[in-house]
Structure 1
Amino acid sequence: MTAIGIISLDNYDDIIDRMDDKYVSALNTLITTMISDWANDNHIFYKRINSERYFFVAKEADVDRMKEHQFVLLKQVKEAEINSEFVLTLSMGIAYGDAEIEKIGEIAQNNLDLAQARGGDQVVVKDTDPNAKPQFFGGNTDGTIRRTRTRSRAMSLALKKIFLENQKVFIMGHRFPDMDAVGAAFGIAGLAKLANREAYVLLNREEVNPDMTRCLSELDKYTELSEMVITEKEALQKIDHRSVLVMVDYHKPSLSISQTVYDAFEKIIIIDHHRRGDEFPNKPLLTYIETSASSASELVSEFIQFQTNRKIRLPKFVPTLLLAGIYVDTKSFAVRTTGKTFDMASFLKTQGADIALVQYLLSSDLDSYLSISRLVARSDYYRKDIVVSVADEREVYDGVTVAKTADTLLSLNGIHASFVITKQAGDVIGISARSSGTINVQTIMEALGGGGHFTNAATQIKGKTLDEVQQELFQELDKLERTKE
């Protein structure tokens, strides 16, 4: 079967931006030489399209050979000496099958888009069969920062335009929402109100973690905001042809607070910072997935920055929720933090964010602390820099406690990755995974049916015991070890 591939350099423009012309010329020659040698080794025809993009045609057997060698070109490009402070990475989209050449090329392009939406430095391979699942290779570098002030402003204006074309804006986060999902949701609701549109935030108060109960109790003190909160039943009664749904802090429909509400919408907007997975809405109106961002709250804060001024401001509690969302996802600015993250934190403070209230919303009670301590005590080494904690099968834990335990284990000296396996509500086994950045926990969780971020991921598995899930996790870690070897 014919295979078509598209190769794209993820951060070429950033690397050559301040590079001397003679080094740019040398860089282009180096890249072309590496790709040419790789193409010759795999017996494929390739052609350079422009400075940062290449195209190749191969056979399915050639692709199988590339898979067997784990697309060694990814590693070769990253390790190249390029006289730059940045690390050069590339992404690749490959498709093959019995379909028409036009269709194969279209799927190859979609695969490249998916690879770059997931943070780059990886290859996505997929058969043209509609039922085939994409295969992922690489992804061992955290997301390249592609977000610029110009692009953020353009997205903010595009979002406002869609709001003005509709009358009702519904916002929904993932099931068992965390502070980031709630903060981003009310930030979007505030923007909808600035556009004089009806705004509704869908929440299921029966599916909230203990930490969020404190947040919702505080939210109820603000009538203007609490009136935006609606249930699934109320949402279904209000949805009409002039309604749009905004998905915040997630992009997989199956993770929606209400699948029924999601299915009721034709017009959908996605704002997320997690690496994109295979499951994705069909033809959304607007997609803004930035894996380099610390949180969805950071992305929404940028939108607000372009639509507010000294006279036009959001209710004071909204900047507080957004700042709390950034605090949670950055572990108090310890991980996934860039200069933009601090810029947005500073902006939210000028908008009235209350630091003391943020600390109150994020504080833990004694029972939660004791639960975390019990899980930490049950941890053991998989190897000297990876620890795994498996809970007592008689206890059920909420997602926040499990996530905090994984964070606590990762903070220990010499630990580069942590995994916490527990029973959770709904008769499922959950795994919360954390990494310091040297291990891609997202790909490990994806192999177990979950997903997330390069350094922060999770999964939920039904119909299995804690021991069975632990063995599956060890199998994936063993595969990781063999790949490195």
Structure 2
Amino acid sequence: MAAIGLISIDNYDDLIEKKDDKQVSYLNSLITTLISDWASENHVFYKRINSERFLFVAKYSDIERMKEEKFQFLTRVRQVAEKNDLALTISMGISYGEESFEEIGEVAQNNLDIALVRGGDQVVLKEAKEEAKPQFFGGNTDGTPKRTRVRSRAMSTALRKIFAENQRIFIMGHRYPDMDALGSAFGVAYMAMMSDKECYIILNPKEITADIQRALEELKKYPELERFVITGEEAVNLSNEESVLVMVDYHKPSMSISQAVYDEFDKIAVIDHHRRGDEFPDKPLLTYIESSASSASELVAELIQYRASRRSQVPKFITTSLLAGIYVDTKNFTVRTTGRTFDIAGYLKNQGADTSLVQYMLSTDLDSYLMISELVSRSQHFREDIVIAAADEDRVYDSVTVAKAADTLLSINGIHAAFVITKQPGDLIGISARSTGKVNVQTLMEALGGGGHFTNAATQIKNSSIGDVENQLRAELTKNEQ
């Protein structure tokens, strides 16, 4: 059985940016030597197709052997890179099967795209069958930022074109939305307003957390914006053939606020900052997933920046909500920030974002504080630098409280990963996972049906108990150590 693969040097342009010709030549020689040695060891035929891409063909039996070794080549590349003081990582997309080479090659290309969207430094392997599930290997380093202003501007233009071709724009975040989901939703709504289109933001009144409730109370001061908010049932009734759905801050259909709304739309756009997983909309009109971004709010605010004229004044509620979304996902600008994050925050502040209102929206009331303290008190060490807090089986917690408890545990000196397990609304058992970067919580949560970021992830499990879920988590942590 044949296998086709593509190799990408994740950050080649950044590596050569400030190097002279001699250094670039040495780097290319190093990369070629690494890949040539790997190909010889594994009986692989390869060809360099451009400065940062390689194509290879192999027997599936050889790929299977590499799979059993968890593609140790990724580790070897990192080790050699560290010795040479280089931020060098690679990604692979591999496919195999009895299908035509054309079909196998297309799946391999798609697998590589997924690997890059997920942050690079990993292998995505998937059989060339529609029903096959991808397998992920590596991803043991946080992603290198690859977002460029050119790409952001292109995405802004593409979204503008999609809006121009449709009459009604529907915007939906994930269940139990946080301020990042709400802020990015209102940001997209503002872009729809700039295109003179009808726009609607879908919320479920039964799935509103405390911070979103405070934001909605503030929204009442802006009746021209409040009218955008509708329920899933209303969205289904309002949609027509000239409607498009924009998914913000998530990309897994099963996490939609309303599954009925998602099923209603053939035309879908995705704007997200979480690492892409297996579950994904079929043939979206636009996919803007940047795992190097701090938040969906950062991505949307940047899109607005490219759309708005210098004289444009974004409504205060929208700029404040976008800034609150960035605050939430960066833990007050302490994690997952880049220079772009601060640039966007400065832009929002100049546009009238109210930081005191942000603090109010994100504040914690006494009851929530006591619940957080209780969860923290139930934590136990899995090992010296990893803690697990399992709540009482009879108490239901909202996702915001659980996330804050995980953040609190991670702030303790010497803790590099924290997991909080609670019962959540809808008869679900949820895990909120946080990491300083020494543990990849995303792959752990993916193994349990969830996903997220390298340092910030979660999952929800149906028809289970806190005890069973804790055992599953401990088993995955043990497997991860091997």
TM-score with structure 1 setting the length:
0.97
C-alpha separation in 1, matches of 2:141 and 2:170: 35
Q: Quick check: 1:19–1:84 contact (8 Å CA) kept in 2?
A: no
Which residue does the alignment assign to 1:383?
383
C-alpha separation in 2, matches of 1:331 and 1:178: 13
Which residue does the alignment assign to 2:276?
276
C-alpha separation in 1, matches of 2:166 and 2:45: 49
- Give the Å deviation of 1:85: 6.5
SS of residue in 2 equivalent to 1:8? strand
Map 1:31-110 to 2 at 5 A.
Answer: 31-81=31-81, 87-110=87-110
Which residue does the alignment assign to 1:431?
431
C-alpha separation in 2, matches of 1:311 and 1:26: 49
SS of residue in 1 equivalent to 2:415? coil
Letter in 2 for 1:185: A
Q: Higher mean Cα deviation, 360-369 or 17-26?
A: 17-26
C-alpha separation in 2, matches of 1:245 and 1:344: 25
Which residue does the alignment assign to 2:130?
130
- Give the Å deviation of 1:315: 1.3
Q: Higher mean Cα deviation, 379-388 or 83-92?
A: 83-92
- Give the Å deviation of 1:309: 3.2
- Give the Å deviation of 1:84: 7.7
C-alpha separation in 1, matches of 2:475 and 2:60: 28
C-alpha separation in 1, matches of 2:72 and 2:158: 39
Q: Quick check: 1:23–1:83 contact (8 Å CA) kept in 2?
A: no
SS of residue in 2 equivalent to 1:79? helix
Letter in 2 for 1:336: R
Q: Higher mean Cα deviation, 459-468 or 442-451?
A: 459-468
Deviation digits for residues 249-274 of structure 1 (CA, Å, limit 9, x no counterpart) = 00111111111111111111110000
Unmatched tracts of structure 1, length 5 or more: none
Q: Quick check: 2:81–2:88 contact (8 Å CA) kept in 1?
A: no
Which residue does the alignment assign to 2:330?
330
Q: Quick check: 1:15–1:84 contact (8 Å CA) kept in 2?
A: no
Letter in 1 for 2:37: D
Q: Percent identity?
A: 66
C-alpha separation in 1, matches of 2:84 and 2:352: 40
Which residue does the alignment assign to 2:229?
229
Which residue does the alignment assign to 2:307?
307
Letter in 2 for 1:264: E
Deviation digits for residues 415-469 of structure 1 (CA, Å, limit 9, x no counterpart) = 1100001111111110000010111100000000011111110001111111111
TM-score with structure 2 setting the length:
0.98
Which residue does the alignment assign to 1:204?
204
Letter in 2 for 1:100: S
Q: Higher mean Cα deviation, 207-216 or 373-382?
A: 207-216
C-alpha separation in 2, matches of 1:394 and 1:82: 49
C-alpha separation in 2, matches of 1:310 and 1:51: 39
C-alpha separation in 2, matches of 1:257 and 1:56: 42
SS of residue in 2 equivalent to 1:396? coil
Map 1:351-362 to 2 at 5 A.
Answer: 351-362=351-362
C-alpha separation in 1, matches of 2:339 and 2:407: 22
Q: Quick check: 1:170–1:244 contact (8 Å CA) kept in 2?
A: yes
C-alpha separation in 2, matches of 1:86 and 1:433: 30
- Give the Å deviation of 1:64: 1.2
Runs of 4+ displaced beyond 3 Å: 81-86
C-alpha separation in 2, matches of 1:86 and 1:217: 50
CA RMSD in angstroms, aligned pairs only: 1.2
C-alpha separation in 2, matches of 1:31 and 1:75: 14
